Structure 1
């Protein structure tokens, strides 16, 4: 079942996590679908990402997968002590666990010495109602929060959390706002125990939430009343009992928004009640919105009972979303007609029967865009119908877009039956998006050809089969952008093919892209096979990330040395073999500061090694740190 889901879902959609310990994050996407694999410990499904254990650790924390997190610690040498900011959101590991209410992960991080949390921890826990988390963080870490915690607790009705924040002076009474209070218990607490006055807005919001209990209570105890928003909000959300209560108790009247939005959201009972008891009525938006959302029953009721009618947008909306019966009803009972958008959007979205009806009943509402849009989205039946029954035709954009989106049958039909043709964009975009069958068809049957963009973009997206085809059968070739962009996204097979078979080569950008995106296999290939000049930059990055093969090649062939800071980054990330190589081959100088860094990050083995090789004597206090830490040496990662 998991594999079936992967084939239907977007397996690449996910969140970005840091995959190194240092402060400036390098991010990579961990697909959301891997949450199931982490939860169930399907390690085979995670093997493709095994070289990014730090990013996986952050993903495990964010997803609440404690068992997989423990596996990473025990088997992949993850040092929980140094997990910090997970991504560009500046949330720490403990922050996100707190927001998720995951006490087990919080305690596990704490037991490993990771006690770093920001105000976002309690802020997030308060928003989501995790009182136990707030208590634990405050009692064990003396964690603080911002006024966001107070605001979110009030907005979400978390009374016990607000009480705790107030009692422990984590909340400022000046931030207590009645307007945003949700739920009767919160409203009472703010008024009765905190002295916060009732407001009109709190009743408006209670009505919108469908909180009849609070509306009744405020009606009895508050002198602030409400605004027209109260009934408007209630009607919009279908809360008929609140609409009735307000009407029966002489509340503030509503506006035309009430019936307009009740109609939009399909609340026929509310529409009927407002029509019967309120004089504000509605506007043409009521029927337009109902048509948009497919509410035929409401349209029929409005037609029979009201005279506001609709505008041409009603049929436009109904056609766009395929509501054929509504299109028919509106056409038969109203004279507003429609615009070109009706046919264009119906064709674009594949509503074949709607297109047929509009063709028959609105003969002047078709444009070349109609077939263009149908072709773009692969609706071959509509393309055929328009070709057979309409005279507007299409533009070159029809075949261009069909080719770009891989709609082979549409491309073939347009080629065989129409004369508009296409441009070089057709093959360029088909190549870019990996549609080899379309590229082959255009090459064999059309004369427009392509430009260097075809191979450049195919290379960028890793479509090796298309790169090979274009290389063998087309003369346009590519530019240096092909190898540069293939390097950017880590397509080693494409990079190697271009290097071995073409002459365009690459620029220094290829190296920069590969290094910046941690495409180490690509960077290693480029260093071995292409000329480059920025030795120091690439060498320092390789040291920082423990890429020993790259370090060895640059050292053995170019006799280049990294700068002084490189060893500190290697120490931060626990790359023992890298440090050993640098020191053994006298590639780098270091001082006692490097030992301090290794000790700070818990890498005793590195610290001891550096101490043995250091000529100068470090202070005795540092020696004592070494001795006391040696019994708790962490495993050393070289990946």
Structure 2
């Protein structure tokens, strides 16, 4: 009986209230936030289903705890948590984007401009959180790009695609390819009938299996005169690696041929090479700048896929491309 009294939660809270350090009620949430993935992430990985996304799984313990914790301690508890460690704000922002908690975003943005970047937009589209996108749009946050549109297309969220298109978002022929490769006929039809783009009938890929949805995709493309290729569907998890082999065969001679096509294809090839750690291909493109591509984008992909060999190579390349401020000899104060 004596042991039971000494171990009651009420007594522990009472003792902790007189001690210096973290309040008792903040410790459970703080423990999970400390072990969450860093917020320096670079958008959802292509070819990975939303339910398999490792960042959402990493924040799952926080999501399991947060509703009950917030119901008990409310806004005051959140304010005290951020007062003890301001860096938790970025973790909570990312958690709110992953799980569509707009109310939490509104609280975190009170009198503070949130650090919202491209991955936040991409994940909101990836998990079909239209309300989060509306919040980011309404508050004028930066970081939106056409990649967000492509993520929504690949994930099959027609509502997000329609919303972004009505806002004037741009897209390229890659969107139709993504819709067909991921078997989203409704999005392919929407792209065909609503997007006024000079596509010149892009070549798309349809995987050969017995799915009725694939047959519908093929019928749609044939009806509207799209050039497409039917191939065997690769195993799950090797889709991006298959695309890279198909376009470049990991052969520098073929990559030189690819360079003569278009810059958008070069960017995709470099990103895929960075995603799979093909350092010789990335190094080749960095040294032979026949085509234009964004090294920072390839660096983001390499970081996202944890390719530790490629990250320093691309970082050095980004430094070389960054213009340095010239010092003037006549100015002694710089």
TM-score w.r.t. length of structure 2: 0.47
TM-score w.r.t. length of structure 1: 0.27
> Whose radius of gyration is greater, 1 or 2?
1
Larger RCO (alpha carbons 8 Å, 6+ apart): 2
